Amino acid sequence: MELRQLRYFVEVAKREHVSEAAEELHVAQSAISRQISNLEAELGVELFIREGRNVKLTQIGKHFLPHVETALKAIDFAKQQIDEYLDPERGTIKIGFPTSLASHTLPTIISAFKAQHPNVSFHLRQGSYRFLIESVKNRDIDLAFLGPVPSDDNEIKGNILFTETFSALLPANHRLAGRQSIDLNELRNESFIMFPKGFVLRNIAVDACKQAGFAPDISSEGEDLDAIKGLVSAGIGVTLLPESTFYETMPRFTVKIPIQIPHVKRNVGIIISKNRELTPSEKVFYHFAKDFFSVLERYQ
């Protein structure tokens, strides 16, 4: 069983088309077909069913695929570790992040790190809360910034970097727009704009409203911060957002008002998998991030 046979198998399984896999891998179609036939002969089973120009995984092929993917990830990780031990300053780090940390937190830490380690590369992936956690577990990304840091997952190690409060974002002509602060209960009769169900920022906002004694009337939803802020700017409703989402991106015709009661906040941190060791460059970045935000917290 050869490594290239396994890579060919995974690529064909993903695309369900030999010629498309050949194009992606930059090898001849006949070479892929031959290597997969050799793999099937060695295993003594058929991995694919031929359907004209397309192929489909057999039942045993479907069972074989996740094991092969796991093995290839382990091999790629081992090679990456060897490369980085030879030169830790030229590694590539795969980092995940949510939309709420995209405009300020992530650029701040990446730019500070690059100033000291200019030859380390980054592959950045934005995603939802659950997606980022699962991607760290599956080794699709090396680490992720997240808020709040999960505390009940045995496969994830999280470090809190900082804590931030939430504020209300109101249209500029809102009756409370001139206030220095508000109690959240004062918005009980307002229409709220929030992320869709399943988004952690929505859960935090809804829980805060319930803590204030009411269930929010969610009249509109947006899947990104710009959409939500734009709807507030248009006077459609109000929303609750964490402080880091307001840096340098306050929309026109809106005002940000701190919430006095209840105190709405979240922690933000960095997560890694407990089931794999960080590569040298990942370790450098991981410790850099913790030290960086520790210094910031002391000066704030």
18 neighbors 29 (Cβ within 8 angstroms): yes
3-class secondary structure, 91: coil
- Look up residue 275 and give its amino acid: N
What pLDDT score does 142 carry?
93
3-class secondary structure, 166: strand
Token representation of residue 119: 């030859």
- Give the up-direction half-sphere exposure of residue 53: CA atoms within 13 A in the CB hemisphere: 4
Terminal-residue alpha carbon distance, the chain: 58
- Kindly tell me if the per-residue pLDDT of 300 is higher than 60: no
What pLDDT score does 149 carry?
94
pTM for the structure as a whole: 0.69
The 8-class DSSP code of residue 128 comes to: -
Backbone angles phi, psi at 268, to 5 degrees: -125, 135
Within the chain, which residue ranges are assigned CATH 3.40.190.290? 162-266
Burial of 152 (0-12, 13-18, 19+ CB in 10 A): exposed
3-class secondary structure, 251: coil
What is the arithmetic mean of pLDDT over 162-170? 95
Total length of the chain:
300
What is the arithmetic mean of pLDDT over 103-110? 91
- Give the up-direction half-sphere exposure of residue 167: CA atoms within 13 A in the CB hemisphere: 19
- Look up residue 56 and give its amino acid: K
Domain 162-266: give its CATH code: 3.40.190.290
Instruction: Round to whole Å and give the CA distance between 127 and 97.
Output: 6
Q: Does domain 89-161+267-299 have CATH number 3.40.190.10?
A: yes
Q: Does domain 3-85 have CATH number 1.10.10.10?
A: yes
Cis bond leading into 118, ω under 30°? no
Within the chain, which residue ranges are assigned CATH 1.10.10.10? 3-85
Instruction: Round to whole Å and give the CA distance between 134 and 136.
Output: 5
Within the chain, which residue ranges are assigned CATH 3.40.190.10? 89-161+267-299
Residue with structure tokens 């922690």?
A: 267
What is the arithmetic mean of pLDDT over 111-118? 93
pLDDT tens string 1-23:
888 889 898 888 888 888 888 88
